[in-house]
Structure 1
Amino acid sequence: MTFGQRTAFTDGKQVISFETAKKWSVRIAKHFVKLGLKKGDVLAVQLPNCLEFVLAHLAAAQIGLIFNPLSPNYRQQELLYMLGHCETKAIITTEKYKHYNLKKLAYEVKKKLPHLEHIIVTGQSKQGEGISFFSLLEEDPEGISDSDLMMHEYKADDPCLIMFTSGTESNPKAVLHTNRTFVATHLMNGPEYGITNQDTILSLTPLAHMFSLPMIMLGLQAGAKHYLFPEYDVKKLVKIFKKEKITFLIAAPAHLIDILHHFDKKEADETSIRFVLTGGTKIPSQMVKELIHVLGCQVGAQWGMTEIGAGTFTRPGDDPTKAWETVGCPCPTGEVMIVDENYRSLPTGVVGEIAFNGDSLFIEYYRNPEATEAAFTEEGFFLTGDQAYIDQEGYLHFTGRTKDIINRGGFKFHASEIEEALQMHSKIRQVAIVSVPDIRLGERACAFVTLRENQHLDFDEMKSFLLQKGFAKYKIPEYYEIRNELPTTPSGKISKEPLRKEAKLLGQSKM
């Protein structure tokens, strides 16, 4: 292997070299074959960001298994649907995550899913119930050789990945990717990010999400070290940044806002971070400016989806303003078009729905032909449901989700405008703006927020803050709800559907 004994992956305690990662992934693949798993079978993994997750992913690729990463936050209802929908043959899980017994959950689900044949468990002794992941690393299984793996060798258009959408539907859609749409296209993105063998990568977002999963292979491609952080805790980051000399950080805006609130300038000056890649939601412009100032790094803004991977992103050589004004240009294998409600192409500078086409586009919603057909135009462009416009230089300016447009008495504005401003308020930790039905105006806005520890922010203070920012009065939320926590999807985005239901009841109470 090109990078041999250099560190490929570490969790701060255990270190795996590139050579060992190859050796162990092949060994695990042989054990999968011994268990009766074959090319085209679905392997689910419900783990945090950890070494076992990475090795399972690499092993699945060795024999053409369809890898299905699942959030450790899923419980019985989600697992029954997802594992049942995919007819999953095996699942890799762990004994405990955040004080919850995922192993017990897997066995409860297995009783109701006859096709689920194997449960493989990390973090336990070999004597525990189920197959110990540790035992798969000890030695090759008897009767399985390298030549046996060749029988399962994958091709470019073989399915390799199923990821469920992180939306708020009761039954999320299963997005199917092949080696061509997932592996080949993301490997072309790696050089665009500027990742080298001098980098140490850290993903604060889950590897079970499309934002971070490609970083496994991009690190291997470039020879970079990858630090695996199983449970996000902003208080531990200063030490990790310094000790591991993190240079390439993948994080959601919420993580980065936390960092700005918790790091002082001295701590920030002691870090080695040169590039921060963020996305997943509207990116606050003030946050980007502060990151550049405080960390002395470059910031990359990215827009993407489970269905398309990294659709657009800014490059390290771009003017810094692009990272707070835009979400970049299309990926090397992609094409973006802005369309109206009749799917006709719109001119430069006009806001409409983002339609995407290119090699990274998913194949189908697995076993859901109706949803697949509804998602595409006749020309083969995928309709994303996101709103944006393209400028004269070809950069995409993301404005938000279509359903987040609020129409107050004929005056329309996007919820993300207000969310972006409130996210940067020193007292606010989370914010979501949704519409409230109104008998006279049609809709009014409601701000759902959580506050930082020991903080108080009343309605009048929130209103004054927005007016001082220069927002028109019709954009100021007229309902204000403080919560201990806002509902989130497994990928960490705020889930607005439960909030919309609450807002509907608020509106009805006023009618």
Structure 2
Amino acid sequence: MSFEGFVPWPEDLAHAYRAAGVWPGRTMGSYLWEWAETRGDRVAVVDGTTRLTYRDLAVRADALAVGLAGRGLERGDTVLVQLPNTWEFVVVTAALLRLGVVPTMMLPPHRDHELTAIGRHVGARALVVPGTWRGFDHQELAFRVAAALPGPAEVLVVGDDVAGGAVDVRALLATDGDTDGAVEERRRWLDEHGPAPSDIAVFLLSGGTTGVPKVISRTHDDYLFNIVHCARACAFGEDTVYLAVLPAGHNFPLASPGLLGALHAGGRVVLSASPRPEPVFAAIEAERVTATSAVPAVVLKWMDAAATLKPDLSSLRYLHVGGSMLAPDIAERMARTLDCRLQQVYGMAEGLVCYTPPDASDEVAFGTQGPPVSAFDELLIVDEDGTPVPPGGTGELLTRGPGTPRGYYGVPDQNRLSFTEDGWFRTGDLVRLTPEGHAVVCGRVKDLINRGGEKISAGEVETLIQELPEVAEVAAVPAPDPVYGERVCVFVRFHGGCSLSLAEISRLLTERGLAAFKIPERLEVLTALPHTAVGKADKKALKALLADRNPLPRAA
């Protein structure tokens, strides 16, 4: 099965990866029944009072996969998945992997702008959404997006009140009254009609540098490599109880090693609907969680709450922290306060993942982001001219390997910028390597704003604000923040006689369907923006202005 916008690995390299066993030659969905037969009645997924065994997971996933096939979805189709951390997310993902339909992992905060643009780009034939989530009607949103897509797209809903014209996902995956014969028939049919290891397994979203996020195509071959090696780097096994607190559509809690890594290792996945301290601590205590992953801003809140709530965290062995830069003293305080081993992670949905080892010294655990999870991952540090820097020097990290795709999906012009001719991915991150080969992240060169681990494209925000009739010019830059690391600050020059408040800009962007976490939280009005020699807004000068006048007064 081929996708026109997919960039494959060179054939000789793909053959070498398979011959070395780096790519296992399996599809992700092919493991479901192997797990069901060897682990059977062991609990695989916990969501509140719902507990699914490994056999439950296989049976329900197959029922849903066949049900979706009956509605016309087939191998090579794409679906937008916008589900929160519920047991249905796991079953839907497993079903799509079995059928060979590619889930495009969206996030619950995404709205019309992101969903429509991504849906058009990947040719989505359906959307899978909750009925409502945190007071927002995702079902209505999905109907709007489906109507805006070029081809027919069904709305698949996980919820108690499914509207007319939508498909009830829970009804499709129901297995009450199924006979063993029916279960076996579905299994045989899917085994025969499923995807190939080289097929695209999942579409992930990048942080993006301009416009909406770029789409990353991960094959069964390379994503299994990612899952297996990350699970090994984190010492996952049958006794692992992994708590997913970040949105499961993110690569970090999904597969690095995340919930898929925990299932592959034979452990148990516990899903939390919120990263707030109270439900997280309650889940750790109730399920005896051994590992979880979060961004620094979330962990800092856990630390503050632990002093007053005094939770029982004695089962917690490993805390994976990544997504934004972490000072060594803060890393050490996290480990001491939560009384567990801290594993720092530096990774990206584009492929490369580095972890500090579980048994690392304090110097390594608190002061580095560790080595790549596989010796097959290649790292190269270069200066602004693309020349390799001396050992120990800082520069932009380039990477390639069996888990790093050779291009974004369907954007050849962008790929010529983001990838070298010989396959190196330009991460945009400033990194130095220790003599032992451990990465130390020092900053970045990409035009991104990192709000608590959420990568926000400055260009995307600028484009939407620039379309407002009152705005003459705009530039979005990161404003330092003690909790989130960075927040979105926009410098705006208005047309003569015009003005907008921060609240008005926020409302207008929300109405245009921009996700809430991307909405600017700081507005600075200038009569003239500084410019570079080529006429672009000089963001270096704007960042310096923020530093010189910090904290800047917020605009009314």
TM-score by length of 1: 0.79
Alpha-carbon separation, structure 1, partners of 2:483 and 2:434: 36
Q: Are 2:326 and 1:326 aligned?
A: no
Q: Deviations over 1:329-376 (max 9, x none)?
A: 012141211111222222221000010110001243111111122211
2:362 counterpart SS class? coil
Whether the aligned pair in 2 keeps the contact of 1:446 and 1:503 (CA below 8 Å) is no
1:103 counterpart residue number: 139
Alpha-carbon separation, structure 2, partners of 1:505 and 1:362: 44
Alpha-carbon separation, structure 2, partners of 1:287 and 1:28: 45
Question: Which residue identity does 1:18 align to in structure 2?
Answer: Y
Q: Deviations over 1:143-185 (max 9, x none)?
A: 9744432443222211111112133632221111111111233
Distance 1:127 1:369, change over 3 A: closer
1:28 counterpart SS class? helix
From 253, 257, 271, the counterpart of 1:228: 271
From 321, 345, 357, the counterpart of 1:315: 357
1:2 counterpart SS class? helix
Displacement of 1:127 in angstroms is 7.3
TM alignment of 1:196-235, pairs within 5 A = 196-214=237-255, 215-235=258-278
Long gaps (5+) in structure 1: 406-414, 424-429, 435-444, 453-481
Q: Deviations over 1:73-129 (max 9, x none)?
A: 111111111111111011110111111100000011112224243211111256754
1:14 counterpart residue number: 50
Alpha-carbon separation, structure 2, partners of 1:385 and 1:42: 29
Q: Percent identity?
A: 24
* Count of aligned pairs: 444
1:274 counterpart residue number: 317
Displacement of 1:230 in angstroms is 1.8
1:119 counterpart residue number: 155
Question: Which residue identity does 2:363 align to in structure 1?
Answer: T
Distance 1:228 1:506, change over 3 A: farther
1:238 counterpart residue number: 281
1:185 counterpart residue number: 226
Alpha-carbon separation, structure 2, partners of 1:27 and 1:151: 15
Q: Are 2:132 and 1:89 aligned?
A: no
Distance 1:107 1:351, change over 3 A: same
Alpha-carbon separation, structure 2, partners of 1:255 and 1:79: 26
Alpha-carbon separation, structure 1, partners of 2:528 and 2:319: 39
Displacement of 1:130 in angstroms is 1.0
1:263 counterpart SS class? helix
1:157 counterpart residue number: 198
TM alignment of 1:263-412, pairs within 5 A = 263-264=306-307, 267-268=310-311, 270-308=313-351, 310-332=352-374, 333-403=376-446
Whether the aligned pair in 2 keeps the contact of 1:355 and 1:383 (CA below 8 Å) is yes
Which segment drifts farther, 177-186 or 382-391? 177-186
Displacement of 1:7 in angstroms is 0.9
Q: Are 2:57 and 1:2 aligned?
A: no
Q: Deviations over 1:254-306 (max 9, x none)?
A: 11000111112872554421100111110232222112212221011111111
Whether the aligned pair in 2 keeps the contact of 1:204 and 1:252 (CA below 8 Å) is no
1:27 counterpart residue number: 63
Which segment drifts farther, 43-52 or 283-292? 283-292
Q: Are 2:214 and 1:173 aligned?
A: yes
The structure showing larger relative contact order (alpha-carbon pairs under 8 Å, at least 6 residues apart) is 2
Q: Deviations over 1:412-458 (max 9, x none)?
A: xxx99xx9xxx9xxxxxx9x9x9xxxxxxxxxx98554789xxxxxx
Q: Deviations over 1:39-78 (max 9, x none)?
A: 1110211111111111111111112111111111111111
1:462 counterpart residue number: none
Alpha-carbon separation, structure 1, partners of 2:362 and 2:164: 53
Whether the aligned pair in 2 keeps the contact of 1:273 and 1:297 (CA below 8 Å) is yes
Alpha-carbon separation, structure 2, partners of 1:4 and 1:178: 27
TM-score by length of 2: 0.73
Whether the aligned pair in 1 keeps the contact of 2:285 and 2:313 (CA below 8 Å) is yes
Distance 1:115 1:447, change over 3 A: closer
Alpha-carbon separation, structure 2, partners of 1:493 and 1:260: 25
Displacement of 1:238 in angstroms is 2.3
Alpha-carbon separation, structure 2, partners of 1:208 and 1:446: 24
Whether the aligned pair in 1 keeps the contact of 2:272 and 2:283 (CA below 8 Å) is no
Displacement of 1:142 in angstroms is 12
Q: Are 2:90 and 1:54 aligned?
A: yes
1:258 counterpart residue number: 301
1:469 counterpart residue number: none
Distance 1:100 1:450, change over 3 A: farther
Question: Which residue identity does 1:249 align to in structure 2?
Answer: T
Whether the aligned pair in 1 keeps the contact of 2:117 and 2:212 (CA below 8 Å) is yes
1:82 counterpart SS class? helix
Whether the aligned pair in 1 keeps the contact of 2:380 and 2:398 (CA below 8 Å) is yes
1:479 counterpart residue number: none
